[in-house]
Structure formats: structure tokens, C-alpha cells
Amino acid sequence: MSPPTSGVPAHSKTSWSSFLKSIASFNGDLSSLTAPPFILSPTSLTEYSAYWAEHPSLLVAPANEPDPEKRALAVLKWFLSTLHQQYCSRSEKLGSEKKPLNPFLGELFIGKWEGDADTGETKLISEQVSHHPPATAYAIRNEKHGIELQGYNAQKASFSSTIFIKQIGHALLTFTPPGADKTDPAQKEEYLITLPSLHVESLIYGTPFMELEKTTRIASSTGYVAKIDYSGKGWLSGKKNTFTASLFKESEGEKKPLYTVEGQWNDTFIIKNPRTKQEVDRYVVKESKTTPLQVAPLEEQDLYESRRAWKDVAAGILSGDMDSVSVAKGKIENAQRELRKVEKAEGREWPRRFFTRQEESQQDEQFSRLARMAHLTSLESERTGGVWRFDSASAVDAKPPYHSVGPEGLGVTE
């Protein structure tokens, strides 16, 4: 009996059924599987880093809050506000989740958000720092408020009745609180953010969307911990994209929450003070408009920037011309394979432009403390090609071209 495929175009039903069968019998990284054309996205995974900061005013809000408890709450609210953009906005816009383009080593995505006079400009740098295994690193900075988010992530996909995705990596939010000395690194606050696990719903119907599961934490250098538990719609009850969260002091434990949050991260959530039983804030996704990301025109981008590098592939996907997609994609992949051969023969490694690799043992005492608070027992650096940290000096006055590799070295056209 063939599975129901209500969201699959009539001409793709056979290929979709075959794709589902290949997933069920596949051992290894699912990202290497070729998906049917209708489920392909013209967007590279390097662009997904932008979802962290599409509400710049919420990102910078903690840096302007004088009370440490309320700063930790502002960080939690900002993080929760990112979930809709990161895990739901694509399926709402496109009708279902699509399989993104797998970035090549050295791929870049660079942009900025122009906020209002109070928020200022927020900049994004995203770079594919590893290809085997695949890992993307990013840095988001707002100099006006002295706030920086950096991190990296990889995904490990497996199949057991549906696709389960484990996200490997973490994010670090850093800023100097009001009244502290901005020139003294020791006075900066740091928040370690762990990443949620995912699974794909409605896959059998051809209209896949992401659902979050398990638990993530945000650990603060000021001693506060936020715990977020995710759940979804079950067979008999519940709503999709549901979560509960609490903010507490590590010294007092989670049984004495300072604030609780509950709701749906794709719709509405409510923040309450359990000590007074009062609602202190309410966030409604549809009432919170995103700030558009600005990127340079294609002709001004570096050859390694995502939208320029993949423009022929993206055009083919959007027009449904899969022959041109195959040709354009093959050029890039073949050129990358040749580059790796040359590097191996010459005994060198591709230079990362904006990030440096560290070992797990190189993490400082504060990071180790935050990792314990966040229940991050291992960085699993073997699955991300290392621990990746932003090199801020490399971003000063950085302008294209970022690499001295000509078109023949990448497989893209001028």
C-alpha cells in the first residue's frame, strides 16, 4: 500500500514514494540523499544563521537592562522569539519545509539589518567552516550596543518512522551590562545557549514541517539558568510547537523559578512571575515584524558568497529546470573536489576567513562552568570539525574579494 501524498504534486508522487523508501533503508548522513525537485530549496544552509537576528531590537535589549535578573529574562525572551523564524517561517512561506543547499567549504553569507535610531546596525557573517563533517559558523554583532552572538552548528539526521535531527554546537551571547567598564573583558556577561533537537512532521504527506523536542538551556555567567522544554501535538491532545520554560538561579535550583513561560513558539507565549502569579509580558509572533536583511547586489558579492555562488542552481530550482540544476551544481562540486586534491597534494588546508578552530581542551574556565550549568557534557567536536570561534580582527574593514580563487577554482561564473 502506497503512503498518502496529499501535498505532493501529481507528477512527483512516484519519486516522493521512492524517496521515502530510500530514507527508510538508508544508513548514513541523510543530507547526502537526492530529494525530489519539488522539495528542494534554492537557499543555502549558510543563510539560516540570519534567523537568529531578524528582531534586532530584541537581540540588543538585554544590553540595556540594568537589573541582572531582568537581563537574563530578556535573553530568554529574545531566544524564544527566534524559534519561529528558525524553524517555522520557511514552511509557512513555502507551504512546507524544503531541503536546503549543502554549503561548500569556505562559503560565505554576509548581510546586515538597519535598525531604527535606538537599535542601530546589526551585522552578520556566516561561513561554512567544515565540509566533512559539515558545519556552519556565524557571528552577529551590534557595535552600538556592544552585543555579539557567535556560534556554530552541524546536524546529524537519522530515520526511525520519521526524520530526527540532532543539532550539534552551541551559541554564545556576550555583552557589557549598563554601568560596567566596556574596555574590561572581565566585566562582560556571557550566555551559553544549547540547540534544540528536531523531528520532521507530516513527511509522509509531502508537506514536512519542523517540530522541536527535548530540552535546551541558556546558562549565564551571572548565575541564572533558563530551561526550555519542547513538546508537540500528540495523537490525542496537545498543540504543535508547544513549550514551557523557567528562569531560575542556579544556586536555588529550578524548583524556585523566578519566571515561567509557556505557549507556542510559532504563535503566542506568556511570561509570568510565579511569586506574584502575575503576567509580566506577552509575545505574539504575528505582531512582531521582522527587520529585512540587506545583502550586497550579486555583482558586488565575493565569488564565495552564497547567493552569487549558487545563483545558477537557485534559478534552475525556481524554474523547475532540473537539468540546469544538475549541471550548475556539478560544476561547483567538481571544482571543490579538485581544490581538496590540490590542498592534499600540497600538504595544506583551506584557510578559514573569519573563524578559527580550537580544541575542546582550549575552552576557558568560564566556558566550562557555563557548559556544566547548561548540561552540555560534550562539545562533540569530531562532528563539527572542531570548536569554532569568531576572529573579530579578521572582520575589521573586510571587503570582497575575501578569497583569491578565480571562477575556475569554484565552478561559478563571473
pLDDT tens digits, one per residue of 127-166: 999 999 999 999 999 999 999 999 999 998 887 777 889 9
pTM of the model: 0.91
Please state, in angstroms and rounded to a whole number, the distance separating the CA atoms of residues 209 and 87.
8
What pLDDT is stored for residue 62 in this prediction? 98
User: Where residue 92 falls among pLDDT bands split at 50, 70, 90?
Assistant: confident
User: Where residue 406 falls among pLDDT bands split at 50, 70, 90?
Assistant: very low
Amino acid sitting at position 67: D
Between 251 and 19, residue with greater pLDDT: 251
Q: Strands, E, within 57-208: which ranges?
A: 99-101, 108-114, 121-131, 134-142, 147-159, 163-175, 189-194, 197-201
Average pLDDT over residues 217-224: 98
Instruction: Give the percent of the chain with pLDDT over 70.
Output: 86
User: Where residue 407 falls among pLDDT bands split at 50, 70, 90?
Assistant: very low
Please state, in angstroms and rounded to a whole number, the distance separating the CA atoms of residues 125 and 127.
7
Please write the tens of the pLDDT for every residue from 317-350: 999 898 999 999 999 999 999 999 999 999 999 9
Q: Which residues have CB under 8 Å from 411's CB, separation 6+?
A: 331, 332, 333, 334, 335, 336
- For the chain, list the domains and their CATH numbers: 10-287 (2.40.160.120)
What pLDDT is stored for residue 13 in this prediction? 63
